[in-house]
Structures are given as structure tokens and as C-alpha cells.
Amino acid sequence: MKVFKFGGASVNSVDRIKNLASIVQQYKQEPLVVIISAMGKTTNALEKVVEAFYAGKQEEALQLFEVIKNQHLTTAKYLLVKQYNSCAAQLHDFFTEVEWLLHDKPVREFDYYYDQVVCVGELLSTAIISHFLIEEKIANEWLDVRDILRTDDNFRDAGVDIGFTEKKIVDSWQLTVDAGMNIIVTQGFIGSTDENESTTLGREGSDYTAALFANMLNAESLTIWKDVVGVMNADPKQFPEAQLIQELNFNEVIEMAFYGAQVIHPKTIKPLQNKGIPMYVKCFLDPSLPGTIIHKKNIKGLPPIFVIKEKQILVHLKSRDFSFMGEEPMQQLYAIFAQTRVRPNLIQTGAIGVQICMDDKQDKTDQFAAQAGLLFDVQVEKNLQLLTIRHYEETLLSKMLEGKEVVLLQKTKETVQALFR
């Protein structure tokens, strides 16, 4: 069996939904789980609904949601004939779920309401697509993943109860097979607590959902369908000469993600790596292209891989009494990282000081500087960029940094990082 995941860009128009159906059509005789995100920009639109609601602007929230409702009903009308009434009834159930909440007043934390509202995006898209597949004579079982994927109540970044979820996924697949079906259509990114409160799984939550299904059903592969030809060795917007990497291993992808490459999140890789399930990253606009395969085999001869992170700051921490940066000060520093939820992109330690490069997120960096200022002398440099090159060569590094003022440089055998202005 295979698992497919389609992101928001692959379902953001009638034509692209038809394209999805043409891809699934080629595999309709095989066991298949199809995980689908909300239609492009829907999540952003739903976020505005939540923000208005939480700010006490009930009418504005309802008006914004009305626009989302009409967009989805219009999409359903363009796609469906025989299946329209059934689909519209399902959509209206989801609309009611949100509107019932919006007519109330917020009494809980923002993140709770965020998840209750934003989760509907995936429910709407999968309902429409499931009905369209039926219209195209592709039988499938639509599942509400909230009945399957059990989480804790850490809203907006919920943790998954693996044991409960695995049993539910296996049971749901068996029920589908027993009903004579071989295709499941369900949602990524969302789940539910044992109190039936909707949750979301945080960054790259849809990919993670797909990886969990692949792991728990012992799938032969997971394919992530995107609007790019595969995994590139650099961001094409920053490096027009970026090239496709046709083969990577799990460890390399985790390294790339750690340094800031917009590839697959490490939490998605882990369930696949644990069972040796390969992942394909393919272009939904042209399925004939080879894309990229990510698996456990060792890969040699990789090209240099470039990541540039903008909006970086360098925090200089210096011991106030000229004592060494030993075990105790470093323990205190890492406690501050944990308290402020700041992840350093680069750390360089000296005898009486530490230099830390991090993303310039004003609220978090201000909080970090204030906490660190209780223990150290603090100075902050802003408006910097961080270049990371995996599998670098010295000549290439020199060329990349030509004309730049380098403020921090760190090298290992495989990786070089340069902070510059």
C-alpha cells in the first residue's frame, strides 16, 4: 500500500483538484491512503477569523467566515453534479460547527479557539475532493481524522498518543477493506483530544500525519506531492542555478532541515526512518518527472547544499566578573533557551563569553536578552544573514563571501556556517 499527501497548493483551484483526481486514478486499483491539506490560503483566512473573534469582533469574524463558506460551496458547484447535494450537506455540518463557536464569547486561551476554527479547512477540502473522486468513479472512504489521531491538549502544537492512534489507524483501514474499499481520503495537520476538542499538530503537521499513517500501516512508500520538481540543493529564488537532488538519505534531510532548508521536517522523517519506508517528493504538475527519493541508503557525491537565513541577530554574552564560561554558566544559558523557547542557529564559546546567532523574532529575542541580562553583559548585533553550506569547498566558500563582512565563522568537515552583513 502507498500513502499520498497533497498540500494546499495542489488543491487550490478546480483544475488542480481535477489534476489530483487524475493522479489518484492511476493508482485506484492499489491500496492507498490520501492525506490532503486545506485548500491554498484557507488556513490564513481562517486565522483571520479566529483573530477577529478573539478580539471581540464577532460580526467581522462571521463575515470573514462567510467568504470562506462561499468559496468552498462555489468550488463544489464547479466540480460536482450527482454528488453536490451530499457534499453540500456535509459542508454545512462543518460550517455549523464553526458558527456555533463564533456566536459565543471567548472564555479560553487563544490557541484553543485557533485549533477549533482552523481545523475546518482540512475537513472542507477533503469532503469536496472525496465526493469529486466518487463522481469520477474512484470509490473511497472519507474519514474524519479527529476520530483516529488522538493528541494531548497542547493546542497548536499537539503531541500524538502513538499507541491509541496506531490501533485506530489499523482498525480504520481494516474496516475500509472489509467494506470493499481500497482508498481512504482523510486530513493532515489535525487531531483531537480525549475530550473531543480539535487540535493541530504544528509546523508541517500534514506531512507528519502522512508519515504516521505510512508507519502504522507499514506502507511501501510515502509520496509528498508538491509544486516543485523535488528537493533542490538551494532555494531557487535565492540561487537561480539551483539543481535537483534526485536521491537523499534520511540523515542528510534532517541536517538540511536543522540548518533552515525548507525541506521535510525532522518529525516527519522519524516515523519513516524507524521502519525504512522511502519518501518520494514529486511534482503534481508533472507526475512523470523523477522527483527526489529519500531513504536510508548511504549517498555519496552530493553537490554543495546552500541555505541562507535572513533577519539574523548575534547576541554577545560576556561574564561580568571575567570568570570562565564553565559548566554552571552554560547550564544557566540553556535554561534560558528553554524558558524563552529560543533555538540558537549557531553558538561559539570563548573563555569568558558566548556568541549566539538566532532568528530575529522581536518578542522572543527581547525576552531572551532580558533574561540573559540578569546573568551576563549583553550586546546585540542586528541585520545579519547566516550562510550554511553542506559539502562545501574552500574556493566555493570564498566566492560566496566575496565582498561580505564576516562576523562569525564556524567549520566542520562537512559543514561551514558564516554569519555576515
pLDDT at 101 (0 to 100): 97
Q: How many residues does the chain have?
A: 421
**Span 360-397, pLDDT tens digits:** 987 788 899 999 999 899 999 999 999 999 999 999 89
- CA count, 13 A, side-chain hemisphere, 330: 12
Chain mean pLDDT for the chain: 94
| The three cell numbers locating residue 84 | 453536490
Domains of the chain: 2-227 (3.40.1160.10), 305-420 (3.30.2130.10)
Helices (H), 373-414: 394-400
Cell matching residue 233? 540543493
Q: What pLDDT does residue 341 have?
A: 83
Mean pLDDT is lowest, of 172-181, 187-196, 335-344, for: 335-344
What are 344-356's pLDDT values in tens digits? Answer: 999 999 888 899 9
Confidence band of 124 (pLDDT split at 50, 70, 90): very high
> Counting Cβ atoms within 10 Å, is residue 84 exposed (0-12), middle (13-18) or buried (19+)?
middle
Grid cell at residue 167: 490501533
Q: C-alpha grid cell for residue 223?
A: 509520496
Task: Give the model's confidence band at 103: pLDDT under 50 very low, under 70 low, under 90 confident, else very high.
Answer: very high
What confidence tens digit (pLDDT) does each residue in 306-319 have?
A: 999 999 999 999 98
Across the beta sheet with 2-6, what order do the strands follow?
Answer: 141-142, 183-187, 32-36, 2-6, 221-226, 279-283, 292-295, 247-249
Per-residue DSSP letter, 30: S
Residue-level pLDDT at 139: 96
Mean local confidence (pLDDT), 11-40: 96
Q: Are 123 and 115 in contact (CB under 8 A)?
A: no
pLDDT reading at 166 higher than 90: yes
Tally of helices (H runs) and strands (E runs) in the chain:
13, 16
Q: Which residues 6+ apart lie within 8 Å of 205 measured at CB? A: 188, 189, 190
Question: Does the pLDDT at position 6 exceed 80?
Answer: yes
DSSP symbols for 262-310: SS--HHHHHHHHHHT--EEEEETT-TTS--EEEESS---SPPPEEEEEE
pTM, whole model, 2 decimals?
0.89
Selected residue with higher pLDDT from 320 and 294: 294
Structural contact between residues 359 and 309, judged by C-beta atoms closer than 8 angstroms:
yes
